[in-house]
Amino acid sequence: MEFELNRDTVRFIIDKAHEFHARDDVTFPEEPEVADEFWSSQVTADFGGDPYYQELKITINDLEPDQQISLVALMWLGRGDFSIKEWNEALQNAEESWNDHTADYLIGTALLADYLAEGLQQVEEASSE
């Protein structure tokens, strides 16, 4: 199994997502399957001035596209959309849906931190086998 992300980076994103989503005023409309320009602009309009949002978005946007793709696949893995045996399929689907709004798609997923943590645990268990 190929995992392109630094685990410390993933843990940092998990921590930042927890900080952002734990705030009382953070709510999102229904999550889209893929973030588009409208969704992204709506999230930015709602939270653009929030320092937690800004730090999380900058961190994700600073990742290379292949790392962002792996992060989306990891979130899907943790959410249960794919099993660890379907990792390559998850990566392929994430690559096909990748766009400039990936950070907002991830941030706009209410349980992002939990999904990433679950996905990372599955990857680590699979890597140790």
pLDDT digits (tens, 9 = 90+) for 72-92: 999 999 999 999 999 999 999
State the pLDDT confidence band at 3, using cuts at 50, 70 and 90: confident
Alpha carbons 89 and 95: distance in angstroms, whole number: 10
State the pLDDT confidence band at 21, using cuts at 50, 70 and 90: confident
Q: What is the pLDDT of residue 41?
A: 60
State if pTM tops 0.85: no
CB atoms within 10 A of CB 76: 21
